[in-house]
Amino acid sequence: MRLFSIILMILLLSLTRVSSPQDHKYPIEDFYNRSIKLPIDYKDPEAGTFFQYYQLSSNFDFSRPTLFFFQDIAQQHTVPGEVDKLAKTYYFYDHFNVVFYQVRGREYSYIELKHPDGSVNWEKAYQLLSADLIIEDIERIRRDLFKENPETKILVYGRSGGGFTIQRYLAKYSKYVRRAFIRAAPNSVIMKQLGYPESKYFFNLLNEIDPSLYSKLKDILKRNVVPDYQLFWMLKTIPYASENPGNELKNLLNELYKGEKILYEKYLEKQEFDFSKRIRTEKEMRQREIGMAFAPIEVSAEYMLNPDPEFIDPFYACLKKLCEPYLNLIKEGKVSIPSFPPLETLTEVETEVFYLAGRNDHVSDYRIGIELGKYFKNYELFIADDNHTMSIYSECYPLLRNAFFQYGLKSAELQDVKNSIKCREWKHE
């Protein structure tokens, strides 16, 4: 009986034991797979530590240029252990080393973000998932990797939120960056100055396709033909997924206006179009989902806290729904609105910067790229006749990246790629 009691006690203790950072380290630790202990909060060293995982490509050699693949708190362009697959997907030439890091808070860069009962500690997540902390993590990775040569400069690449993170990194650590390739990335300050044009993208697009579509959409919503947020998510996602969103939006709205749902149901069969798949209870939420809900706050919290616009805006309507717990913290005065570094800090950056924008980008308006050119000294903008996912002229962009990283802004090689038949540049006035 006494033996049974001891076994039961050990079992109970094992079930209630709080996990430690050590429990979440990547299982392989060698030259290519590395975990370094970092503060969870650089402003509060007593708050604890976590293990930051990063991986080096299998061709890594300190004699080669090293490229860091930037990701924000929402992104996951590959999984731990597969940096070579990432390098292959993006056609990075073999003479570049590639460094992938798993962003803080994830499986192998784990930070506990939940209460013991499984509910999310939203305030803790708000404080510990910020881009300000992510850029400090990245800089610690660079220092760890180049501890023998701490002034080593790197190449950096980031798309969308990854490009947003690059801008923040450059504002503080540009002296360690030789070249930066930013693809279709937001900028909080510029978006506000431009009046958040991405919020009007859908309204303007419908009027360009067919002026009657907007009034039909209002009628569909008024009659509750389908659930509002399911439709909003679908309308938001089509421009991501389609090379010809105009026809798809027109066909869908015309059908729903007639009360028919055949196309709507077909879209719902694909997980990325089903908003209900995005809604989970707090206990069901995984670490990545907690981060995905925070990423839009860093870019557009100020806009999302404003009253709803007069025009229908599916993009921000969905984001506001997903970000609601974080927005409530701001409204309750528990946290402050995230701020972006002053644009003037970018005027001190010596790094060569190449910005790839999409003429029809419904997330990061191409004019962000134009405005950034007023601040970066060594800068080139390429506005592709493409969308946010850069899916139309996809053969062009690996050529641009590699020519830029290998030869630089003013090189003949980069200019040749820009003028090649595989690339289609949209000329703005």
Exposed, middle or buried by CB within 10 Å (0-12, 13-18, 19+), for 18? exposed
E-strand stretches of 29-101 = 33-39, 49-56, 66-69, 97-101
CA distance linking residue 378 with residue 414, whole number of Å: 14
How far apart (Å, rounded) are the C-alpha atoms in residues 341 and 335? 18
| 185-to-235, 354, 357, 396 alpha-carbon distances in Å | 21, 12, 8, 18
Domain end point (choices 299, 331, 363): 331
Average pLDDT, rounded, for the chain = 93
Q: Across residues 164-168, what is the average pLDDT?
A: 98
Q: Is residue 178 part of a domain?
A: no
Per-residue pLDDT band at 76 (split at 50, 70, 90): confident
- Assigned domain for 276 exists: yes
The answer to whether residue 8 scores a pLDDT higher than 70 is: no
Say whether both 208 and 322 belong to one domain. yes
The tokens for 336 are 């402050």
* In a shared domain, residues 20 and 147: yes
Final residue of a structural domain among 276, 301, 331 = 331
Domain that residue 315 falls in: 197-331
Share of the chain above pLDDT 70, in %: 95
Closest CA to 176 of 155, 158, 147: 155
Q: How far apart are CA 80 and CA 102, in angstroms?
A: 7
- The DSSP line for 352-372 is EEEEEEETT-SSS-THHHHHH
Q: Cβ of 261: how many Cβ atoms within 10 Å? A: 15
Question: Does residue 13 have a pLDDT over 60?
Answer: no
> Please, what sign has the CA dihedral across residues 164, 169, 171, 175?
negative
Instruction: Please report whether residue 24 resides in a domain.
Output: yes
In a domain, 210, yes or no: yes
Same domain, 217 and 147: no
pLDDT at residue 205, rounded to an integer: 92
Note whether 134 and 260 are same-domain residues: no
Could you tell me if residue 290 is inside a domain? yes
Determine the pLDDT at residue 209: 94
Final residue in a domain of this structure, among 331, 360, 380: 331
pLDDT digits (tens, 9 = 90+) for 139-157: 999 999 999 999 999 999 9
350-400: pLDDT as tens digits: 999 999 999 999 899 999 999 999 999 999 999 999 999 998 999 999 999
* pLDDT of amino acid 428: 59
Helix (H) or strand (E) holding 164: helix 161-173
- 327 and 220, same structural domain? yes
Same domain flag for 226 and 141: no
Looking at the domain assignment, is residue 229 inside a domain? yes
Q: Residue 48: what pLDDT? A: 94
What mean pLDDT do residues 226-242 have?
Answer: 92
Task: Judge whether 315 lies within some domain.
Answer: yes
User: By the 8 A CB rule, do 322 and 278 touch?
Assistant: yes
The tens digit of pLDDT for each residue in 404-426 reads: 999 999 999 999 999 999 999 99
Kind and range of the H or E run holding 70:
none
Burial of 44 per CB tally in 10 Å (0-12, 13-18, 19+): exposed
Q: Are residues 244 and 147 part of one domain?
A: no
Residues 298 and 243 in one domain: yes
Residues 135 and 212 both lie in one domain: no
14-69: pLDDT as tens digits: 444 455 667 889 999 999 999 999 999 999 989 999 999 999 999 999 999 999 99
Flag whether 429 is in a domain.
Answer: no
Number of domains in the chain: 2
For every residue of 269-337, DSSP letters joined together read TSGGG-GGGG---TTT--HHHHHHTTHHHHHHHHHHTSPPPSS--HHHHHHHHHTHHHHHHHHTTSSPP
